[in-house]
Structure 1
Amino acid sequence: MNSLSGDSQEMQGKARRKTKDATSSGQEQLDDLQKNVLARLRRIEGQIRGIQGMVLQGKECEDILIQVKAVSSALKSTSRQILKRYLKVCHTKAMESADSEMAYKQLEETVKVLTHFIEG
């Protein structure tokens, strides 16, 4: 084995270690993101129950629609957070993959999901 090949392997090994270190701290971020998403969904669930109560009580349509719009906005915001988490997970998987074909497939899947999200 020549020194160039050995240097290349050493650099790849260092890159993998850095990725694993980043993944550990990244996992903590993902857990925080997951907690954030769950908190948002619980809040939205409460808003939905509130809207149901408003309908049952015969509240004004305008008031109900204001609450529906607030829920819709909260869902959009939550969707962005879920997409953020998805992109971080996919990026991490692609970076950890030693197989460039697998990394490319992961990228294609990420683009597909992102495109679907943007198109609504």
Structure 2
Amino acid sequence: MEHREPGYVADKAQLLKRLRRAEGQVRGLQRMVEDDVYCIDVLTQVSAATKALETVALQLLDDHLAHCVAEASAEGGPVAEEKLREASAAIARLVRS
């Protein structure tokens, strides 16, 4: 199959902004642990960082379904079946995490 532009290309700037924010949160977590901050306060920040990454994951999934899966479905056949399997596996990974 030929290489195509990723489904998230229209949202790339927003995704990068969210990822940079999550990166900052993780760095903050490292500082909190280094500074022996109270456990519950660290856990609260872990939850916030986790939610930030989940938001990115859901946006990527939405873009993948709207772009890559929809396009493959229009083609039909093995390509469509493969994209549906990929999407299903990605959803399963997100639900388990």
**TM-score using structure 1 length:** 0.60
| 1:34 has 2:15 as partner | no
Q: Give 1 or 2: higher helix fraction.
A: 1
Residue segments in structure 1 that go unaligned for 5+ positions in a row: 1-26
Report % sequence identity: 30
| 1:92 has 2:71 as partner | yes
| 1:69 has 2:24 as partner | no
**Largest Rg, 1 or 2:** 1
| Counterpart-to-counterpart distance in 1, 2:96 and 2:29 | 28
* Contact 2:69–2:83, Cα closer than 8 Å, also in 1: yes
| Count of matched residue positions in the alignment of Structure 1 and Structure 2 | 91
Structure 1 runs (4+) deviating above 6 angstroms are none
Residue segments in structure 2 that go unaligned for 5+ positions in a row: none
Higher relative contact order (CA 8 A, sep 6+): 2
CA 56–83 in structure 1, closer or farther in 2 if over 3 Å, else same: same
**TM-score using structure 2 length:** 0.71
Partner of 1:50: 28
